[in-house]
Amino acid sequence: MSSDILKGPAQWRKMVLLGGLYITQFLGLGFIITAIPAIMRASGAGLDSIAWIYALGLIWAIKFLWAPLIDRYGSKRHGHYRGWLILLQSLMIISLVCAAFLDIGSQMPILAVFLVFASFFSATQDIATDALAVTILAPEERGLGNSIQTAGGLIGNIIGGGLVLIAYQWIGWSASLLILAAGTAIPLFTILRHKEQPAPADQRAEKVGMKDLYRFFGRPGMGRWVPVLLVYGLAISLAYALINPMLVDLGWSLDRIGFAVNIVGMLASIAGAGLAGFVVQRLGRKPAMLWTSLLVTVSIIGLYLPGSGIENTAVIYGTIMLMLLAYGANTTILATMMMDKSDPSSAGTDYTLQYSLFSILAFVASGGALVLAEAIGYTGVLTAAIAAGLITIVVVLFYNDFAPVVYTKTDQMDAPAVAPVLMSQAAED
């Protein structure tokens, strides 16, 4: 690995650009998914009328359906992905500003429309941001770049779903939304200053389309990679879903749970993301995937005490911190690998498809964990999660295709089906 990474201003500009985009895509979304249900409940709304808010998260799981459009169409004048980002960042701001002047009680139907718009624009901005990251980050920069991606999302959630919610009781609805809109506007300055090179998507002989979604699975090595992608987050998805109900059953108050999981835990995740970027750069992809899988498995073992009804505050905090540190590292390394498997000429489509496969399975696993816990108890689900963690370690041990895939400029410009050129494994390790 190069020791010169991030010593030049060009590399710093990349990271500042991506950091701003990743943080702000979650400012409004964190408030919508985390804060608004609490605000509605405090105002007397029933649980059934709040439930639809959480369904907005599904937009992120199905965004692969319109990802090819982001790759296919773009502005040559303003830059392919840069043009999309200017538009989508502006639409996110407009949605939040419009929502700020509506009443959350009496005008919920029209407010819901703007919340759906904000969630959709946020998810679509993520497609364009991920595509831009794939095209501007060199393979040796992706570990750090994806640390910033993971940490940025977590910081956005902490601000939007935590700090603004705390301030809400003093500043009210309109001021909260306007602050989020102002924060979302900040990256526009770096986007406008960014000079995007001609996007590989514009140089393809055959434009990106829906067929690229299924073509992805036919590429060399994808039959081995997809099982790794699917299993890698299974253990932590099963275990993480149990934390909040488990702590409620132990008698913890909601504010105590929020502090432990959403503040202390998220800070641990940010630390894990940064640590993962360092490990990927120094040790390589495979060792990084192995140690994070091991951390996840060990942290799940720590949940056996609270899962058995035994409250030990030190153990609970330690387990939450270790699990979410592993979560931040896990997410960062997986994102790095997903970038490695993405063709820059269909970057948004390839990366988003992988993300959707991973997140849909995680969503199903989280819901399934709660259903299973009702039948076999917390410890039964934790045992299944540990088994999933051990299976993940074995799968990663036997997977050896860790060299980033490089697509040559000639391939991107002249070939309808882009042929990958693998970097040497020695360069990776």
Mean pLDDT of 276-295: 89
Question: What CATH number is given for 208-424 in this structure?
Answer: 1.20.1250.20
In the prediction, which pLDDT does 143 show?
A: 87
Task: Give the DSSP letter string of 201-237.
Answer: HHH-SS---THHHHHGGGSTTHHHHHHHHHHTTHHHH
Query: Which one of 50-64, 92-106, 410-424 scores highest in mean pLDDT?
Result: 92-106
Tell me which residue has tokens 């904000």: 118
What phi and psi values does residue 96 have, to the nearest 5 degrees? -70, -40
In the prediction, which pLDDT does 10 show?
A: 76
pLDDT over 90 at 254, yes or no? no
Please give the Cα distance from 356 to 367 (Å, whole number).
16
In the prediction, which pLDDT does 427 show?
A: 37
pLDDT over 60 at 139, yes or no? yes
In the prediction, which pLDDT does 220 show?
A: 84
At 422, which helix (H) or strand (E)? strand 421-422
pLDDT over 90 at 57, yes or no? no
Contact predicate 336/211, CB 8 Å: no
Please give the Cα distance from 280 to 425 (Å, whole number).
14
Q: Minimum mean pLDDT among 27-31, 55-59, 328-332, 342-346: which range?
A: 55-59
Mean pLDDT of 45-68: 80
Mean pLDDT of 351-361: 89
In the prediction, which pLDDT does 48 show?
A: 64
Tokens representing 276 are 């993962």
Tokens representing 61 are 């799981």
In the prediction, which pLDDT does 363 show?
A: 79
Write the pLDDT tens digit of every residue in 159-204.
988 888 888 888 999 999 999 999 999 999 999 988 888 777 766 6
Q: Evaluate whether 1-198 and 208-424 have a shared fold.
A: yes
Mean pLDDT of 131-136: 89
In the prediction, which pLDDT does 353 show?
A: 92
pLDDT over 50 at 1, yes or no? no
Sorting pLDDT into bands at 50, 70 and 90, what band is 7? Answer: low
Mean pLDDT of 25-29: 91
* pTM for the full predicted model: 0.80
Please give the Cα distance from 425 to 429 (Å, whole number).
6
In the prediction, which pLDDT does 211 show?
A: 84
In the prediction, which pLDDT does 411 show?
A: 43
Tokens representing 96 are 């939040």
Sorting pLDDT into bands at 50, 70 and 90, what band is 344? Answer: confident
Percent over 70 (pLDDT), the chain: 90
- Where along the chain do its domains lie? 1-198, 208-424
Q: Minimum mean pLDDT among 105-109, 144-148, 205-209, 275-279: which range?
A: 205-209
Q: Give the end-to-end CA distance of the chain in Å, rounded to a whole number.
A: 8
Mean model confidence pLDDT for the chain: 84
Tokens representing 395 are 């799968």
Q: CATH number for the 1-198 domain, one of 2.60.40.1930, 3.40.50.980, 1.10.10.10, 1.20.1250.20?
A: 1.20.1250.20
Write the pLDDT tens digit of every residue in 157-168.
889 888 888 888
